[in-house]
Amino acid sequence: MPSLRVVRRVALPVAAVAVLAAVGCSSGSGDSASDTSTGATSDDATTSSTAPPTTAVPADPVAELASWSLPAALSRTACGAEGSTIRCASGLDANRSSSSAVLQIDPAAGSVQQVARIPKALHDAAGTTFGGRMLLIGGGESEVATAAVVDTSSANPSRIGQISEPRSDVAAVASGDTLVVVGGYDDTDITAGVLTSTDGVTYTEVGQLVTPVRYPAVAALDGKVYAFGGKTRTPDGNDSQTADIQRIDPATGVVTLVGQFPEPIGHMVAAVLDGTIYVMGGRTGTGTSLTDSSAIWRFDPATGTVTPAGNLPKPVTDSTLAVVDGNAWLIGGERDGTPIDDVVVVRPAQR
């Protein structure tokens, strides 16, 4: 584990602050006028008052309910794309019981088949395709988290490795040839450590989040990983949510607070469509005052800002996302705390 890193604060670019104000950004759980980094010292954390070049804003994506649905309600599952298909494992069923089912989904045909079972029923695991395998990372059952990494690609899913400590409510994404694991909960504390792996089997802590979170959304673009919002803990020990957007450099372990949402948000998903990051759905608010959201946000890495980019057909939280043929498929999720069988497809505007 790396040694204790230096924490720095520098001003956000003037242009970034202006755009945040334009979309009505409140302070959330952090200071919107600061840019905080953890990790090794890097020029990547420096700022300038010069506004970035103006670029054309993509048209809003098109989101609609798929013509098909899941055979049964399912939330908090973990999915990854395998060519033109999606493989999902674990989750919560309509009774909010953990599942061991592995589903193979052909979104073009609208077919869903159970093809295997994982060794232990779980939910709130991270899932992603990496190195030709659909990996299930962490997860929990009855408030007990696991550190297991399971390869779900075969008819007989098996444990192939483990992360450094048990984590549920965790997220993972591939950035080039590096798998990055972000956030989570170890049954006691919200975990700050950022883990990376080059083989999907062994994992190393390379840095720590500025704001430790569980249930963040993550996306990778141009060699950086972005963690959006999530559930956090206030200084007095109460659970809440954060508006923070954190940038992770997998190569150096530097984590930088680069922006904020207009209000605290968690339990959402994120995807890269035609080179643009979109964050979708989730729950907004703090404490127990949470509201399911249908919002789609467009994120600009150059300024650290988010702007509205349309809406999902209905509010949804705790969905899972996979991108197939350039389209994002939101699988299941929850509405008003109840698992649903909906499938939503989000397409770039020109498709």
User: Which 3-state string (H, E, C) describes 230-299?
Assistant: CEEECCCCCEEECCEEEEECCCCCCEEEEEECCCCEECCEEEEECCEEEEECCEEEECCEEEECCEEEEE
pLDDT tens, residue by residue, 292-326: 999 999 999 999 999 999 999 999 999 999 999 99
pLDDT of residue 36: 62
pLDDT tens, residue by residue, 138-180: 999 977 899 999 999 999 999 999 999 999 999 999 999 999 9
Helix/strand/coil for 174: strand
Q: What is the pTM of this model?
A: 0.85
Q: Is residue 49 part of a domain?
A: no
Residue with tokens 């700050």: 192
Q: Is residue 312 part of a domain?
A: yes
Q: Is residue 52 part of a domain?
A: no
HSE-CB for 188 with a 13 A CA cutoff:
2
The one-letter code for the residue type at 77 is T
Q: How many domains does the chain have?
A: 1
CATH assignment at residue 270: 2.120.10.80
Residue with tokens 């950086």: 224
Share of the chain above pLDDT 70, in %: 84
- Answer yes or no: are the C-beta atoms of 182 and 174 closer than 8 Å: no
Q: Is residue 297 part of a domain?
A: yes
Query: CA 333 to CA 321: how far, in whole Å?
Result: 10
Q: Is residue 94 part of a domain?
A: yes
Q: The domain containing residue 100 runs over which residues? A: 8-41+61-347
Q: Is residue 176 part of a domain?
A: yes
Q: Is residue 56 part of a domain?
A: no
Query: CA 120 to CA 277: how far, in whole Å?
Result: 33
Angle 146-144-119 from CA coordinates, rounded to 5°: 50
pLDDT tens, residue by residue, 224-235: 999 999 999 988
